Structure 1
Amino acid sequence: MNARSGESVTVQARAKINLYLHVLARRKDGYHELDSLFVFGELADVIQVKPARSLRFKSKGPFAERLPDDQDNLILRAAQLLADAVEVKPDAAITLTKNLPVAAGLGGGSADAAATLRALAALWKIPPEAVDLTLLGLGIGADVPACLLSEPCYVGGIGERIDPVTDLPAFPTVLANPGMALPTVSVFGARKQKYSKRSRFRRMPTNIDELVSRLKNRRNDLQSPAIKLCPVIADMLQTIESTDGCRLARLSGSGASCFGIYREIAEAHQAAQILQRRGWWAEATMTASAERPWENL
């Protein structure tokens, strides 16, 4: 949920999950063309913004200590870019509750930046027509435009082509991370296989069985190079696959986080407990429904 209370605005930055990710080509500028289906978990970081006399940032939560230095912080970049775009002073106190692992393939940094843009646009009362948040977000990171939407969508280009998906069934999932950061640029650099084709569904699945069947005919092209760089991912995927009720286990994004799809949320919770006993971060969640609560901020 996202909410406005008095002079503060709170926005959730949902975990991003790549159900499949195909690398289509490498452009002359070094960026890669992608085809991916994004969903978002109800598990999320939280951004809260309040009026202040200058731009201030603080963080808390289980992964706050692993955030990068201020100059590289995507949240501060987002705040400054938005202020520059609409020619206002970036006067705000921003608090991040960091619940998601850092550099984990869950879009945490991009989701935090996107939530910051949404929250500050509401706090500063910026009209929607005054700035293109999607274009602004793309200058921060390739996943930011999709994270601004935070609902099921196909993503193409380098992240700027967003096509919302309707009627995709929500499902229980477990998210897991081995506690190792895996930089995206390193994973792309380790990729050696041929390029893939665009593989969007001709017809949207209507249930979990149909969804899993179609996903098994697709893949994450970054899974193999991620395993080369971080072999524990293979062990974690095998552990997820072995849990009761797991229908599919796969790497999300460039890793090192993985996810499993289940029919029942109780099965996802049991899987999370098994993964936690291995010493890994793991949480069960439902994928989030299509909603845009910030439109009422």
Structure 2
Amino acid sequence: MFGQAFAPAKVNLFLHVGPPGAEGYHPLCSLMVFADVGDRVSLAPAEAMDFALTGTFARDLAADGDNLVQRAALAMLQAVRAPRSPVMLALDKQLPVAAGLGGGSSDAGAALRLLRAAWAPDMSDARLQDLAASLGADGAACLWGAPVLAEGRGERLSPAPDLPVMPAVLVNPRVASPTGAVYGRFDALGAFGDVTPPPTPEAFETVEEVAGWVSLLRNDLEAAAVQIAPEIGDVLNALRGEPETLVAQMSGSGATCFALCASDIEAEQLAEGLERLRPDWWVRRCRLGGPWPDPA
């Protein structure tokens, strides 16, 4: 009934964003994959509902009742509409905050999976996905941590093409890239993209094939994010200048960027080189794909 769940980092292999509609929301099209690095959420019996926050980036995420793990618990309580045994939810925050990695949405998804097992094991996957979607645009996509093509506001999901496990490096310059500010600058620039899904094969055999395809696509928020946080441009230049990098892009609204590499060895070499060059950056070698197993 109780245990831990993995909350993987989300990476947008591409992100095409259109002009805002009448309600102010931007349509998008994005292929989301997930890394084998992320946060951890745990659930344990308690005398009263409680929440604990630990981890490298805990101090950047205030435990003030407004983070997505606590909002997920409230949504689940409202959904089951019956008294439930109190629990302690704990979040081990290892991903940077406001980083374009969907950390909050992934944390919420992990919490929802644990809470369903504890409180509502008969709840359907569809109902759980609705709850996740109610918590934010990335909520539904991040619930299961599996590659998915997202459209609309992020709520229209369809299967991703078959993908290989992709060696990669994630780099964040340890600056925030707030989504609202990036979209505000994006609107001011007016460089809206076409959100029609790009031509995509049913399956990719190698990471080189994926990289070649990604190189033809884009992240429409990149220019706006770089204006707000020029350090993002420094990261992209550094990644794109290294021989181990097959392709490099920004994820989400930034500030994290990723590089695909041909092998784990090359990803490790790239990560180690960047760590020596910029010890002030957050650098993680990883694999992209998903879903990844929950910890034992």
Alignment of 1:124-143 (within 5 A): 124-129=119-124, 132-143=127-138
8 Å Cα contact 2:34/2:291 also seen in 1: no
Q: Residue 4 of structure 2 aligns with which residue? A: 10
Matched, 1:167 2:162: yes
1:57-98 deviation per Cα after TM superposition (whole angstroms, max 9, x unaligned): 111111111113423211101101111111134621011111
Identity %: 38
1:28 correspondence with 2:60: no
Distance 1:167 1:131, change over 3 A: closer
Q: Distance in 1 between matches of 2:243 and 2:194?
A: 32
Which amino acid letter does the alignment assign opposite residue 10 of structure 1? Q
Distance, in Å, in 2 between the alignment partners of 1:78 and 1:175 is: 27
Residue in 2 that maps onto 1:200: 198
1:238 is matched with 237
Cα RMSD after superposing both structures: 1.9
Match of 2:13 among 19, 34, 40: 19
Could you list the per-position Cα deviations for residues 97-144 of structure 1 after superposition, in whole angstroms to 9, with x for gaps in the alignment? Answer: 111111100011110011111111112243133971222112211111
User: 2: CA distance between counterparts of 1:240 and 1:136?
Assistant: 37
Structure 1 residues 130 and 155: alpha-carbon distance in aligned structure 2, compared to 1, 3 A threshold: closer
Q: Secondary structure at the match of 1:22?
A: strand
Match 1:181 to one of 176, 179, 182: 176
Contact 2:19 2:192 in 1 (8 A): no
Structure 2 gap segments, 5+ residues each: none
- Structure 1 unaligned residues grouped into runs of 5+: 1-6
TM-score normalised according to structure 2 size: 0.92
103-112 or 267-276, which moves further after superposition? 267-276
Q: Secondary structure at the match of 2:275?
A: helix
Q: Which residue of 1 is the match for residue 39 of structure 2?
A: 45
Map Cα deviations across residues 6-38 of structure 1 (whole Å, 9 max, x no partner): x52211000000000001331221111110000
DSSP 3-state at the match of 2:43: strand
1:64 is aligned, of 58, 63, 71, to 58
Which residue identity lines up with residue 111 of structure 1 in the other structure?
S
TM normalised by structure 1 equals 0.91
Q: Which amino acid aligns with 1:216?
A: S
Higher mean displacement: 101-110 or 23-32: 23-32
Q: Aligned AA for 2:79?
A: A
Aligned partner of 2:158: which letter? D
Which residue of 2 is the match for residue 287 of structure 1? 288
Measure the CA separation in 1 of the matches of 2:87 and 2:198: 41
CA gap of 1:210–1:35, structure 2 versus 1, over 3 A, is same
Opposite residue 79 of structure 1, the aligned amino acid is A
